[in-house]
Each structure stands twice: as C-alpha cells, then as structure tokens.
C-alpha cells in the first residue's frame, strides 16, 4: 500500500471512530437510573427496552470505554463512563456468596441467570485489567485477579489440561451436552489468551505469564486443526473433536439446525475467528517478549486461510464460515468477522509483507465502510446478505452485539495504519 492510500484509509477509520462510533455509545448507553450500561438498540439507535444486562455486554462495554481512553480518545470522558460500568459490574453482578459474576441480571440488577460461565469471566478479566491500566482504579485488577484465581480453582481440568466452561452458581460443573459441562471450546480458550495477556500487562506476575503461555500452547497444539491450522470450535474434555452443538447458555446468535447441531458440525471453522486468533496471538507474543517466529507456521496458516478462502472478491467482505480445507459454507457477512479480519490482515501484512494481505484489508475495509456501517446512526449492521445490499438482522446492539468488536477494530486499525506511515 502506498502512503497516500494508507493515510486516506486511516482518516476514514479515525473519522468513523471519533465522529460516529464512539458518539453512538457515549450518548445513549449509560443507565443513569440503575447504573451500568444499556445495551439494546434498534436500527435507529433507539433503546428497545429489553430488560436484561448480560455479563458479556457489560464487560465488553467496560473494555471499550477503558481501552479507548487508554488509547487517547475522549478527553477523559471515557474514563468516567468506564468507572460507571465498573461500579455496576462489581456492585451488582458479583456474587458475594460463591464468588464470580452472575451471567445475567435485569436492568435493575436483579439476577436472572446465576450460572457461572467461563466465557463471561474471560471478558471480566480482560475488561477489569484494561480498566485499571486505563484509570489506575485498583478495584479493576483486584477483581481481575480474583476471577483468575477462581478459574484456576474451579475451571481447570488437571487431567487433560484446559478449562471446563459451564458451571452452576456454586461452581459445580454443569451436565453434559447442551448444558456444556463436557465440552471445551476454541472460543473460551482464545478469549482466555486475550484476557491473560492484558492481565499480565497489568500485573507482571509470573503465574499470569505462565498460564498465558500454557493456554497459547493448548490453542496451537490441541485446538487448531493439525493440518490446516484452523480453529476447531468444540471438543470433548480429552480434546477429541466434538460435533458443534448449541449450548443452553449462548453468547452469540449462531445458526444451528432445529435439533441444535450445526450443518457440517465436524468440519467447520470461522475465517474471522482464525484471523482474530492470529492477531491476538501476535499481541500476546509481543507482551511476552517472544518472537513471532516461534509460531510462524501457525500464524501463516491462520492468516492465509482467511485471506485465501474467506474474502469475497466479488462483493467484498469476509464470509461467515467454511471448511478447514477452505470451502465456504456460509456466504453472509457478519459484523464481528469483518472487524477482526481488518486487524488481522494488517498484522499479516506487517508480519509477512505479502501484498495479498493489503489487498484483502482494502477489500474488507471498503465493504465495511461502504455497506456495513450506518454512518448516520454510527454503528454497523450485525448481519448482511452476501452482496451487502441489505441487513438480515437489524439491531445495532443487544446482549451479544455491543461495541467491543467495532470500537476495538477501529482503534487497532488506526494504530496499525499509523505504524505503516
């Protein structure tokens, strides 16, 4: 990419971030009455009134404000918004009896689902560590450390390694199948890598470093496909591949057949997840002071799979899912995969120097800016048809779509494009 092009793309991203995206959130998501964040908005940016506050939406929104403040945006206002969210999280969602965070409250803070879900706790560590880094408020890292300790005590599998993921309120393991107690997922282990990275930045503790290294090794050696290096969504406790099923507790709107099983349940990978994994791994390695080359083969496979198979050269953007060998199964365009490949392709370009990744970045960038962003509203369509001519889902936000992917992507893209200038 030439410097003029980089500069132009950077300005486009910066303008969207500062004039559209952050204002969308700063102007409407504070719940002044009950504390915490309002996280349900329709395509007009209007509060839909849905009466729930999910652990992941609250923590992701906290992460968003904290990280944007730490990245230099908002003139201090974002730190206040972060503190507002931290107050709710720590005062209303923490279980004082069994420790850990409830999965869901209503807007008033009454507990709707008291289960302890590791996916949500990974975001609690991530957000609370970032919050202390951003604001200096010691409560963040105190609770992030507590959650880390809780996971080590209650969630690790000391036989096969890795973490169990679904627990009752008192941290007893849930049952098998849709209850999720006998499954291990790419999702959880990847987000633990992300969370432990920021935790370690904040604490410098050897045990946080060690557990980060362990989860990286698990991801690379067990969770990535042995041939293709692509993410395998679900496993049995002994790391045998499990058919991808729908859990009772979900953290995304994923497409399953009516019996709760995926089409292609055992040969399914997400281009966006693979690119996200790779850039998160690069970030972790930078924090750890370990050379990229240690995991070079893995990184090349992750990035190539997304760029070679996932990019839609006809209509732009990145597809939802496909096979480990590459063939596309689902050609629609979902917001978070676009957000993550933007960062990933820039890291691939920076790391591998192949113009292919610059072209892939520009392709997705244009799809996002020309078709997916509702510029007059400020946020992104959640899911569009392949052509990008219209939305399939229309909400701007709900419990499973908030600002974490979009804002983080724009912050990280600005940083990377600046680095290329």
Stretch of residues binding a copy of itself (CB under 8 A), selected from 6-14, 170-178, 335-343, 413-421: 170-178
Q: What is the CA radius of gyration of the chain?
A: 20
Cβ atoms of 340 and 409 closer than 8 Å: yes
- Residue position matching structure tokens 């409830």: 102
Cβ atoms of 285 and 295 closer than 8 Å: yes
Nearer Cβ to a copy of itself, position 170 or 286? Answer: 170
If one asks whether residue 298 binds a copy of itself (CB under 8 A), the answer comes out as no
Of residues 214 through 273, those in contact with a copy of itself by CB under 8 A are 214-215, 217-218, 221
In angstroms, rounded to a whole number, what is the distance separating the alpha carbons of residues 374 and 23?
13
CB of 181 to a copy of itself, least distance (A): 11
CB of 215 to a copy of itself, least distance (A): 7
If one asks whether residue 203 binds a copy of itself (CB under 8 A), the answer comes out as no
If one asks whether residue 142 binds a copy of itself (CB under 8 A), the answer comes out as no
Stretch of residues binding a copy of itself (CB under 8 A), selected from 2-10, 45-53, 146-154, 389-397: 146-154
If one asks whether residue 156 binds a copy of itself (CB under 8 A), the answer comes out as yes
How would DSSP label each residue in 111-158? EEE--EEHHHHHHHHHHHHHHHHHH--HHHHHHHHHHHHHHHHHTB-T
Cβ contacts of 353 within 8 Å, gap of 6 or more: none
Nearer Cβ to a copy of itself, position 170 or 355? Answer: 170
In angstroms, rounded to a whole number, what is the distance separating the alpha carbons of residues 152 and 155?
6
Angle of CA points 416, 420, 421, to nearest 5°:
120
If one asks whether residue 361 binds a copy of itself (CB under 8 A), the answer comes out as no
If one asks whether residue 354 binds a copy of itself (CB under 8 A), the answer comes out as no
CB of 229 to a copy of itself, least distance (A): 18
Residues binding a copy of itself: what is the number (CB under 8 A)? 26
Find the binder of a copy of itself among 207, 325, 327, 392 (CB under 8 A): 207
How would DSSP label each residue in 158-223? TTT-SB--EE-TTSPBP-SGGG-TT-EEHHHHHHHHHHHHHHHHHH--HHHHHHHHHHHHHIIIII
If one asks whether residue 175 binds a copy of itself (CB under 8 A), the answer comes out as no
Q: Collapsing DSSP states into helix, strand and coil, what is residue 409?
A: helix
If one asks whether residue 206 binds a copy of itself (CB under 8 A), the answer comes out as yes
If one asks whether residue 109 binds a copy of itself (CB under 8 A), the answer comes out as no
Find the binder of a copy of itself among 123, 163, 357, 367 (CB under 8 A): 163
Query: Which residues make up the interface to a copy of itself (CB under 8 A)?
Result: 148-149, 152-154, 156-163, 170-173, 206-207, 210-211, 214-215, 217-218, 221
């Amino acid at each position: 990419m030439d410097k003029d092009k980089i500069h132009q793309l950077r300005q486009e991203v910066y303008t969207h971030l500062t004039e559209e995206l952050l204002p969308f959130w700063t102007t409407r998501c504070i719940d002044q009455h009950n504390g915490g964040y309002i996280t349900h908005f329709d395509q007009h940016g209007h509060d839909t009134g849905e009466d729930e506050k999910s652990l992941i939406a609250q923590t992701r929104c906290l992460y968003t404000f904290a990280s944007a403040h730490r990245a230099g945006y908002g003139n201090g206002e974002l730190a206040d918004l972060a503190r507002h969210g931290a107050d709710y999280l720590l005062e209303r969602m923490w279980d004082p009896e069994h420790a850990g965070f409830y999965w869901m409250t209503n807007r008033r803070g009454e507990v709707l689902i008291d289960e302890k879900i590791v996916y949500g706790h990974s975001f609690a560590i991530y957000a609370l560590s970032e919050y202390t880094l951003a604001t200096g408020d010691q409560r963040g890292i105190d609770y992030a450390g507590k959650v880390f300790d809780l996971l080590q005590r209650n969630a690790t599998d000391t036989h096969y390694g890795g973490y169990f993921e679904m627990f009752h309120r008192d941290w007893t393991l849930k049952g098998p199948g849709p209850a999720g107690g006998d499954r291990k997922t790419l999702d959880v282990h990847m987000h633990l890598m992300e969370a432990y990275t920021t935790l370690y930045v904040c604490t410098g503790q050897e045990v946080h470093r060690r557990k980060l290294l362990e989860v990286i090794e698990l991801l690379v050696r067990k969770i990535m496909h042995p041939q293709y290096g692509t993410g395998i969504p679900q496993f049995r406790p002994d790391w045998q591949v499990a058919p991808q099923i729908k859990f009772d507790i979900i953290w995304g709107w994923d497409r399953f057949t009516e019996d709760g099983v995926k089409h292609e349940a055992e040969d399914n990978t997400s281009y966006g997840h693979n690119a996200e994994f790779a850039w998160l791994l690069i970030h972790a390695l930078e924090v750890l002071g370990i050379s990229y080359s240690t995991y070079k083969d893995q990184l090349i496979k992750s990035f190539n799979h997304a760029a070679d198979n996932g990019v839609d050269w006809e209509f732009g953007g990145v597809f939802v899912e496909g096979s480990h060998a590459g063939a596309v199964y689902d050609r629609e365009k979902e917001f978070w995969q676009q957000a993550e490949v933007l960062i990933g392709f820039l890291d691939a370009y920076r790391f591998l120097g192949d113009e292919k990744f610059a072209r892939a970045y520009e392709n997705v960038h244009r799809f996002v800016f020309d078709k997916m962003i509702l510029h007059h509203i400020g946020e992104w369509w959640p899911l569009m048809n392949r052509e990008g001519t219209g939305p399939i889902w229309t909400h701007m936000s709900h419990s499973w779509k908030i600002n974490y992917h979009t804002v983080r992507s724009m912050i990280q893209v600005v940083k990377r494009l600046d680095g290329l200038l």
